[in-house]
Each structure stands twice: as C-alpha cells, then as structure tokens.
Amino acid sequence: MGSARIAVIGTGYVGLTTGACLASLGHQVICVDVDETKVARLAAGQVDILEPGLEELVSRGLAAGRLSFVVGSRAAVADAEAVFLCVPTPMGAGGAADLRAVEAVIDEIAGCLPAGCAVITKSTVPVGTAQRIRAMLGRTDVPVVANPEFLREGTAVSDFLHPDRIVVGADEEPAARWVADLYADLDAPNVVTDAASAELVKYAANCFLAMKLSYVNAVAELCERLGADIESVTEGMGYDRRIGRSFLKPGPGWGGSCLPKDTHALVQVAESVGFDFSLLSSAIQENIAQRDRIVAKIAGAVGGSLAGARVGVLGLAFKAGTNDLRDSPALSVTAMLSAHGAEVTAYDPAIGGELPGMRIVDDPYQVAKGADAIVVLTEWDEFRRLDWSYIADLMQGDSVVDTRNLLDPQVVLSAGLTWLGLGRPRARVLAQ
C-alpha cells in the first residue's frame, strides 16, 4: 500500500519505536504525548530511552518530514487514517490491567476521528478490550483493531523491522487486512484473525516465556542439589527444536515492563471466566521464590548473616542494553539485601542518580572497596572484562555471586576469589 496518515498516541518504548519505524516504512506519522518537555526534546531529535538505533531512526524521520511530535491528541487524529494506542497499561488492583490511560484517550478522540479511521491497540490489553473500545466510541464507522507488539527492550527497532510475525485482529476482516498492509514492506508471516484471538496471542506468548524462565530457574536449583550442571542440561535441551535455546538461561528472576504485569493480568482474565490457571500462578510464585533463593545464596557467601555485610552489586537494569528499572529483579534483590541489614553499593552503566536502600557509584571498581561479596545481577557484557585481580585486592571478602552465569569462573578463581553461579556445582567449576 502507499503512505498512510498515522497518529501514534504515547511515546514510551512501544509508541516511539512504533512511530519511528512506521515513518521509516514511508508512512506520515504524528506522535502524541501529554508531556510538553518530552515532546519538545523528541521534536529536537533527543531520545532519552536507551534503545539501539532508535535515536537515529527518529532523526531520519524528522529530517525526511515523515515524523513529527505534538502535545494533545485531538488535532493529531483529525485527518488520520489510523490511530495507534501505545499508552501504558500497568498492573492494577488485584493484578488486572489498568486501562484508564486507554479509556482517557478514547474519551478525548471519540468525536474527532474521521469516518473509516482505524483505532488500533498496540498496548497490551486484556481480551475483550476491542469490544470495550467500540462501545466507548459509540460509532459504527470506526473499526477497532488489535495489533499487539512483540518488542524486546534492547532490540526493539530490530524486532519491529524484522519481526517473527505480525498479528492483526478485528471483527471486520477488511479492517484487519488493511492494518496488516501497513507492514507490507516487512518480510514476516501475517496472522489475521478476530480481535479476541489477537489480544490473547500477546498474553499467551509472554506468559509462556515467563513459565519457561521459571522452569529453568527451578531446574538450576535442582542441579545444585543433585550435582548436575545447568549449562550442560540446557545445552542438551536446546538442541531439541521443540524447545529451542532461547529463555533457557537461569537468573535472579524475570521482570521488566511486560512479564510481571502480563502474567498477573492473564491469571485475572482466567479467573473472570471461572478458570483456575494454576500452571501460570505457580510460575509467578516460582519467580518470587527465585529471588529468595538468590538472597539466601548471598547470605551464605558472607557467612550466613547479611546484617552489616557490605555487598557490591553489578547491574540494576532489568536487562542489559536498557536503562529500564521497571520491575527489575535486581532492585527486588537489593531491596531484600537492604532489609536484612546489608550495606549495598551498586553500579550500572546505564543508571545514575539515587535509589533507596543503596549507594550508586559511577565506577564498577568502587563497588568492590571493602566488599564482603560482589553480586552480578544484570548481564552487562562489560562486567566480563573487569580486572578481577584488582577487584580481589579491593575486597574485604572473597565471594562473587554471579546470578547470570555471566563471568568466566576460571578468571574469577584465578584472581583468588570464590565464584558462585546458578546451577553450577563448585566441584564441576573447579575441575574445568
């Protein structure tokens, strides 16, 4: 199809990536936000989100005249052919998705939309939201389409432009196919379906990944108790094409802006129709238990009690390559350490400023000064390249708790330190 006139409401990770990428595909895109300062910065090409390739894409869109930023939705949608809703849908009371931001936008634009303009939910929304929006609009001349995003922070631009699939759902098939055609230049299979199915695809996919992560964390714990090696176990699993290699690395628990809220939301959706989704509920509980296990491992590394222990933390973002702290497992672990009386000093290459319960420094070696233990909580590659002999000289203790199995154990051990990973028996590591 040719160029379409598109309004994107919201300029967070999803909205800004969506707007910039759609502009790169040749569409005319207006991105909308309520924050005047943020809009002014974006209009000047200044992107505060740490996302590879995004700032360059925004700059190119601005220079080409295909991308612009405004405050307020009404004028932006006045002549739009498509409106993408990319506003936050955080976890609300009881775990259900909070749709107040979506509802506020619909209230604002309902009377301004041109006939035939498609309203498209890009935000993750519960099954039935398309019908709810249709009822709120009170219009039969405006199709409502579900088009969930599958963007990973740190690779969002690449994920948008090289997707595994494009999912579009609407109760009017022509509207769904028109939205699918917006992505015609991308080489990806299209799943065109009804709105409810499209809405459920996103939850089903994210919750499956969360359960896979909880499973591998539980298997890592089992490896430690049985003397097996999680790296060998997951290597053997990963060759099975039915399982695959992704999401098979143990860690301090899953977090971020999607998995925690999506898992709770799907449990709530299931309960609303009388289904006890105990499998998913167990994965959520296992994720909580994983953080308890990590804290217990750290306590053991400093002699059993965290009271007064000095713990140096490497990594705070929920994922390397991002500056996102939302539901970061690293923050959960550091909060628990602080609650148990530990003195926490932390470093993250993308995080500065102040955070409760810890001292943040701007040099990774500063976390080692007088530390009883060093804990790796985010998988930043630069931590592999640290001078661990120098760190050993700075430390008071000798324990390195690597919750990501990121470091080369032999490098740490040769520095005279003790390396403790997840699911990797000490005897096996020493024998390497």
The C-alpha atoms of residue 378 and residue 404 are separated, in whole angstroms, by 7
Query: At residue 226, what are phi and psi to the nearest 5 degrees?
Result: -100, -5
Q: How far is CA 313 from CA 91, 134, 365, 426, in A?
A: 28, 48, 10, 22
**What DSSP element (H or E) covers 9?**
strand 5-9
Cα torsion 169, 269, 214, 51 to 10°: value is: 50
Gap between the Cα atoms of 26 and 2, Å rounded: 8
Is residue 105 within 8 A of residue 8, CB to CB? The reply is no
Give catalytic status of residue 117 as yes or no: no
Total residues belonging to the chain? 432
- The residue from 86, 117, 223, 258 that is catalytic is 258
Which tokens hold the place of 83?
């409106």
Rounded Cα–Cα distance for residues 79 and 92 (Å): 34
DSSP-derived 3-state class of residue 96: coil
Interatomic CA distance for residues 427 and 432, integer angstroms: 9
Measured in whole angstroms, the distance separating CA 109 from the mean position of its chain's CA atoms is: 29
**The pairing of beta strand 399-402 with beta strand 144-146:** unpaired
Q: How far apart are CA 30 and CA 78, in angstroms?
A: 11
Other Cβ atoms closer than 10 A to 192: 16
Question: What are the angstrom distances between the C-alpha of 297 and each of 128, 139, 291, 304?
Answer: 43, 58, 10, 9
- DSSP state, residue 211: H
Catalytic residues: 258
